[in-house]
Each structure stands twice: as C-alpha cells, then as structure tokens.
Amino acid sequence: KAGVTQTPRYLIKTRGQQVTLSCSPISGHRSVSWYQQTPGQGLQFLFEYFSETQRNKGNFPGRFSGRQFSNSRSEMNVSTLELGDSALYLCASYDGTGDGELFFGEGSRLTVL
Amino acid sequence: GQSLEQPSEVTAVEGAIVQINCTYQTSGFYGLSWYQQHDGGAPTFLSYNALDGLEETGRFSSFLSRSDSYGYLLLQELQMKDSASYFCAVGNDYKLSFGAGTTVTVRA
C-alpha cells in the first residue's frame, strides 16, 4: 500500500507570494491533517479534514487555509507569505481506528526569502 | 491548552538502554503517542498508550501514568539506526500536541 505523498518536496518563494501544497493520503484514509514544523515551535497542528469538511483548526492566521477533495486528497494554501512561514509542512493521514497512529508524509519544505 | 516537556538531548552507547521522559499539562486527551523522526524526514509512529501502564513493541516500550501526568519511552538494545529525534504527543485521534523532541545520539 502506498504511503502518504506530498508535493512538492522543496520550494522557494518570496515574501508576499502564495503557495499551494498537496497531500495524497493512504488509500482508504479519509482523515488528513496538516502540521507545521519549525526549529523554534516544533510540530504544530494546522487543521484537519474529513470527508471534505474541516473538523478542527489550530492557532494559525487566516492566511493558512486548506481543502479536501472527494478522493480525500488535500491541499493547503498559504497566502501573503512571511519569512516566518519557512518550515517543513507535514501531512498526516489517519484510518479512524483509534489506535493512535498517524501516517506522515515526507513533508514539503518551504523557504520564504 | 496543552504543553509537553521532554529532555532536549540524550546520548548513549550501542547496546545501552535509554528512557525519554515526557510530562504534560492538558485538560484531556485520548492517549500518549511517540514518534521517531530521522533528519527532518517523515515522523513515524512508535507507540501509543490509551490506558495507564506499559506497552511493549519489540525493543521499544512506552508507559503512561495519567495520575502523574507522565509518560516515558524506553529504547532497549540501542542501535546506531536509533539515532533520531523522538517526540511525545497527546491529543485526540488526529489533532496532536507535540513535545519539542528529544535528540538521541547513539555512539559506537
């Protein structure tokens, strides 16, 4: 079974631009969550989608948004990029079994110049 | 909110045993999870404690005490490949709050 796939793996943007990141969860997993990882703040929850609905959102400004499609693939968008948005953005899929296991992708490493 | 504390670094030799403690402050959660991450790659799931007590998975064991707001990950028979960052996390099924991570360095 294929794992969680995130694209692109690396990208460089400049301040003020916007970026869209994509995540394909494991087949059959309907929950997709997004995390931001930085050296200073660690792993922080951004939001989670299930069956195209956002169920929960973390403490991030409105510049961070996401969506999920009917095939469970998810995208997140960051508008008006700031230097502090430079981070590894991780996507995780969950099978709903309650066993506590999230399956993470390799992440998209965003650098904002 | 939820906050978790774990040591920032641990160094040990091959074959040794390492215990990574995690203390937390939270108003409620389903369980305590542990993840391993190599060099900024994908975090991988190691263990999950929904109930108090010890869970054993091969060389790794994890413990939870809700009354003490405390848990730990035990790495036995350390191998070089165990050099990585280890994160404890609490939350519900998909929304986790992570500790800052413990960097484990295994020396020959």
Q: From the list A94, A103, A107, which residue is nearest B93 (CB)?
A: A94
Q: Is the per-residue pLDDT at B20 higher than 80?
A: yes
Residue A34, Cβ neighbours under 10 Å: how many? 24
Contacts of residue B12, Cβ cutoff 8 Å, sequence gap at least 6: B18, B78, B104, B105, B106, B107
Q: Is the per-residue pLDDT at A40 higher than 90?
A: no
Q: Is the per-residue pLDDT at A75 higher than 80?
A: yes
pLDDT value, residue B15: 97
Distance CA B71, CA A12 (A): 39
Confidence of residue B108 (pLDDT cuts 50, 70, 90): very high
Q: Is the per-residue pLDDT at B79 higher than 80?
A: yes
Range among A40-49, A77-86, B38-47 with highest mean pLDDT value:
A77-86
Q: Is the per-residue pLDDT at B63 higher than 70?
A: yes
Q: What's the mean pLDDT in A102-106?
A: 97
Q: Is A102 on the interface with B (CB under 8 A)?
A: yes
Confidence of residue A22 (pLDDT cuts 50, 70, 90): very high
Q: Say whether A90 and B42 touch across the interface (CB within 8 A).
A: yes
Q: From the list B33, B87, B95, which residue is nearest A100 (CB)?
A: B33
DSSP secondary structure string for all residues of B38-97: STTS--EEEEEESSSEEEEETTEEEEEETTTTEEEEEE-S--GGG-EEEEEEEESSS-EE
Q: From the list B35, B44, B94, which residue is nearest A31 (CB)?
A: B94
pLDDT value, residue B40: 80
Residues in a beta bridge with B63 = B54, B72
Query: A66 is written with which tokens?
Result: 């996401």
Contacts of residue B108, Cβ cutoff 8 Å, sequence gap at least 6: B13, B14, B80
Q: What's the mean pLDDT in A87-104?
A: 93
Confidence of residue A91 (pLDDT cuts 50, 70, 90): very high
Query: B41 φ, ψ to 5°?
Result: -85, -160
Residue B100 sits at the vertex; the CA angle it makes with A57 and B15, to the nearest 5 degrees, is 135
Q: Is A103 on the interface with B (CB under 8 A)?
A: yes
Distance CA A8, CA A110 (A): 9
* Amino acid letter for position A44: Q
B→A contacts (Cβ < 8 Å), by residue, are: 30-31, 33, 35, 40-45, 48, 50, 87, 89, 91, 93-101
Q: Is A48 on the interface with B (CB under 8 A)?
A: yes
Q: Is the per-residue pLDDT at B1 higher than 70?
A: no
Confidence of residue A41 (pLDDT cuts 50, 70, 90): confident
Closest CA to B76 of B51, B57, B49: B57
Distance CA A100, CA A92 (A): 12
